[in-house]
């Protein structure tokens, strides 16, 4: 007979296996799509441009990075009379306002708004939406830099009237700053590129990532803007869009860069907020499955993916205990334990291989980072556990701004800069 504890552990293993199969399937589809589209030109400069864009930025104490974003807007390969820039200064106490005033004087298509008291990103975005005139609203973080053909390329996705939102591709602008930024950059390449491309290729739930994202203004107005009570306004509005049947696309040819946290403490705070926001949104929109289709089912799976990471960590602990200790395990639990250890190790190696394909240039030396990826995965799993405890004990939600330094160290960014921003 299998006891209750052993049965519970087997359930954890099965939950992990299901998540593993799902993850590998989506990643495989993403890598296949990347290989299929390699060498395809992204240029759309010969197309007639008609859509009017509002590029919306919420900024608080961003004097170190905001200028380079506004400068990249000024170099967009899109008629200046067909887009506007709306910057909301959300209670900044540094030189952010001075930078905005300087750019507003130089460029006639920029509007500068100020809020005396900071209320968080969602409130700042909703305030800015009241002043947006474009058909499409592009959301950017202050630390972003956008490629000059971003609007030209994203416009074609909205030619389909059923498309309500588009998520662009994001890469790290400071990936070579230190070991942490390098690992985070690799993670973004795999999960932010290959994973979302796999979802796009399979027709699954494509979620928005909070920046380099584009949404129809009419849709935002119908939804009532962004939820100001959530920690992750991007994933929350993604769930709402899916619930109401809106179509969201992933645009691999719409480029933007962002700064990765270079210190451990800001990174831990950021990821804890993300994981908690994901799981709270999952519980909030659990009724998505009342309308069962490919997108709603995948949305619930995606929102609960942090729990798969937690199950993976627990499975690995049990497997290590089973292999290294003399504690007797039943035949079934012992088999599950050993298989889990093999699966976890295999997944990490496959992520490394996916990274090789996602990179601009295929570098098999990227596989040397696998030991650090394992340590990073363990840390992320602990953060999921911590975020889960915050939810269970109903700790207050507080949106925390991620620190920026303005560092630019990525060699990939330098290559893209020369081909897209000249």
pLDDT tens sequence across 214-246: 999 999 999 999 999 999 999 999 999 999 999
Residue count of the chain, please give it. 422
Average of per-residue pLDDT values in the chain: 86
Give the model's confidence band at 37: pLDDT under 50 very low, under 70 low, under 90 confident, else very high: confident
CATH of domain 1-34+51-422: 3.90.550.10
Q: Supply the pLDDT for residue 208.
A: 97
Q: Taking 70 as the threshold, does the pLDDT of residue 399 lie above it?
A: yes
Q: Supply the pLDDT for residue 313.
A: 79
Sheet holding 145-146, edge to edge: 110-115, 83-90, 53-59, 136-141, 213-216, 163-172, 247-258, 145-146
Give the model's confidence band at 81: pLDDT under 50 very low, under 70 low, under 90 confident, else very high: very high
Higher pLDDT, 71 or 336: 71
The candidate with the shortest Cα–Cα distance to 69, out of 175, 154, 146, is 146
Q: What does the pLDDT average to over 298-311?
A: 88
Q: Taking 70 as the threshold, does the pLDDT of residue 297 lie above it?
A: yes
Q: At what angle are helices 305-324 and 4-37 packed, to 10 degrees? A: 120
Q: What does the pLDDT average to over 359-385?
A: 73
Give the Cα separation of 101 and 85 in Å (integer): 12
The candidate with the shortest Cα–Cα distance to 127, out of 143, 145, 142, 111, is 111
Q: Taking 70 as the threshold, does the pLDDT of residue 420 lie above it?
A: no
Give the model's confidence band at 422: pLDDT under 50 very low, under 70 low, under 90 confident, else very high: very low
Q: Supply the pLDDT for residue 121.
A: 95
Higher pLDDT, 238 or 341: 238
pTM of the entire predicted model:
0.89
Ranges 170-184, 298-312, 336-350, 392-406: which has the least confidence: 336-350
């Amino acid at each position: 007979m299998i006891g209750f504890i052993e049965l519970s552990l087997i359930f954890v293993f099965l939950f992990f296996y299901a998540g593993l199969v799902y993850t590998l399937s989506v990643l495989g589809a993403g890598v296949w799509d990347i290989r299929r589209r390699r060498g395809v030109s992204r240029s759309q400069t010969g197309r007639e441009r008609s859509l009017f864009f509002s590029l919306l930025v919420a900024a608080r104490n961003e004097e170190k990075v905001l200028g380079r974003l506004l400068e990249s807007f000024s170099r967009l390969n899109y008629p200046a009379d067909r887009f506007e820039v709306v910057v909301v200064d959300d209670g900044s106490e540094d030189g952010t306002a001075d930078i905005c005033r300087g750019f507003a004087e130089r460029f006639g298509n920029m509007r500068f708004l100020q809020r005396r008291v900071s209320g968080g990103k969602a409130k700042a975005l909703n305030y800015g939406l009241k002043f947006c005139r474009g058909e499409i609203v592009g959301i950017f973080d202050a630390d972003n830099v956008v490629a000059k053909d971003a609007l030209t390329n994203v416009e074609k996705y909205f030619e389909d009237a059923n498309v309500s939102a588009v998520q662009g591709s994001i890469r790290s602008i400071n990936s070579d700053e230190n070991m942490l930024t390098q690992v985070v950059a690799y993670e973004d390449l795999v999960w932010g590129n290959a994973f979302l491309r796999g979802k796009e290729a399979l027709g699954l739930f494509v979620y928005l990532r909070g920046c380099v994202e584009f949404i129809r203004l009419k849709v935002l107005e119908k939804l009532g803007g962004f939820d100001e009570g959530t920690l992750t306004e991007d994933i929350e509005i993604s769930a709402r869009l899916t619930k109401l049947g809106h179509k969201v696309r992933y645009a691999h040819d719409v480029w933007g860069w962002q700064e990765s946290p270079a210190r451990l403490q800001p990174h831990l705070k950021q990821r804890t907020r993300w994981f908690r926001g994901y799981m709270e949104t999952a519980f909030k929109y659990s009724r998505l499955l009342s309308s069962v289709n490919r997108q709603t089912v995948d949305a619930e799976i995606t929102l609960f993916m942090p729990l798969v990471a937690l199950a993976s960590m627990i499975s690995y602990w049990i497997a290590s205990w089973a292999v290294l200790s003399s504690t007797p395990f039943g035949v079934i639990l012992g088999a599950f334990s050993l298989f889990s250890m093999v699966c976890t190790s295999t997944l990490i190696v496959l992520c490394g291989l996916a990274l090789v394909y996602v990179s601009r240039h295929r570098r098999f030396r990227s596989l040397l980072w696998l030991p650090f990826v394992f340590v990073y995965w363990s840390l992320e799993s602990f953060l999921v556990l911590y975020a889960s405890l915050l939810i269970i004990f109903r700790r207050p939600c507080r949106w925390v701004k991620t620190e920026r330094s303005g560092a630019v160290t990525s060699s990939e960014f330098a290559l893209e800069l020369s081909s897209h921003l000249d």
